[in-house]
Structure 1
Amino acid sequence: MLASPELDEEVGIRHDEQTMRPWQTVVWNDPVNLMGYVTHVFREYFGFDRPHAERLMLAVHHDGHAVVAEGAREQMELHAQAMHDYGLWATIRQAPQ
Structure 2
Amino acid sequence: MNTEREILHQEDVAVLEENTDLRQLIVFNDDVNTFDHVIETLIKVCGHTAEQAEQCTLLIHYKGKCTVKMGAYEELSGMCTALHDKSLSADIQ
TM-score (normalised: structure 2): 0.74
2:63 aligned residue? 63
CA distance in 2 between partners of 1:49 and 1:57 (Å): 12
Tell me how far 1:19 sits from its aligned partner: 6.2
Poorly superposed stretches of 4+, deviation over 2 Å: 17-21
Give aligned-pair identity as a percent. Answer: 31
Root mean square deviation of aligned Cα: 1.9
Tell me how far 1:66 sits from its aligned partner: 0.7
Secondary structure, aligned partner of 2:81: helix
More strand by share: 1
Q: Deviations over 1:39-68 (max 9, x none)?
A: 111112222221111000001000101111
CA distance in 2 between partners of 1:43 and 1:73 (Å): 20
Tell me how far 1:21 sits from its aligned partner: 3.6
More helix by share: 2
CA distance in 2 between partners of 1:88 and 1:33 (Å): 7
CA distance in 2 between partners of 1:24 and 1:77 (Å): 10
CA distance in 2 between partners of 1:69 and 1:29 (Å): 16
Secondary structure, aligned partner of 1:33: coil
Number of equivalences: 78
Tell me how far 1:18 sits from its aligned partner: 8.6
Range with greater deviation from structure 2 (17-26 or 61-70): 17-26
Secondary structure, aligned partner of 2:91: strand
Secondary structure, aligned partner of 2:87: coil
